[in-house]
Amino acid sequence: MPSTSPTYSRGKTITLWILQILVGVLFIAAGGMKLAGVPMMVEIFDHIGFGQWFRYVTGIVELAGGILLLMPRTALFGAAMMIATMACAVCTHLLLIGGSPVPAAILLILSAVILWLRRQQVSVLVARATAS
């Protein structure tokens, strides 16, 4: 049976932690801005056209994803959640509101890197699920 916690080299572990903290804090800040009703966020979500409830949902998702990224056991789920969220954000910029999709695309890529670096954790979870 595979180990329950994948082992990483020291350098990979440090890189992963720095990346997770950076991206997690960015998502917590972005989610907080949405929940706090920063005028720029209110305006952006007015342009999206789904109503301000969508700003709150997005803020909660980003806040939750950021928190999940800060905990080793849940970082995998936070990264996956943020990949989906940022893919939607890129599409929203390209198809609905205009503006630069670059910040969302960068966060999508960084979240994908975290998921890639935690791919051993995915293998462990899949092995556990298939063994049950």
The pair phi, psi for residue 5, each rounded to 5°, is: -135, 115
- The mean pLDDT of 9-22, rounded to a whole number, is 92
pLDDT tens column, 73-128: 899 999 999 999 999 999 999 999 999 999 999 999 999 999 999 988 878 888 88
- Find, among 129, 109, 106, the residue nearest to 117 by Cα: 109
Is pLDDT at 7 greater than 80 in this prediction? Answer: no
Mean pLDDT score of the chain = 92
Per-residue pLDDT band for 3 (boundaries 50, 70, 90) equals very low
- The mean pLDDT of 43-53, rounded to a whole number, is 95
Number of Cβ within a 10 Å radius of residue 129: 8
Look at residue 43 and give its three-state secondary structure.
helix
Is pLDDT at 59 greater than 70 in this prediction? Answer: yes
**CA separation for the pair 8, 57 (Å, rounded):** 35
Is pLDDT at 53 greater than 60 in this prediction? Answer: yes
Give, as one character, the DSSP assignment of residue 38. -
- The mean pLDDT of 46-50, rounded to a whole number, is 94
Answer yes or no: pTM beyond 0.95: no
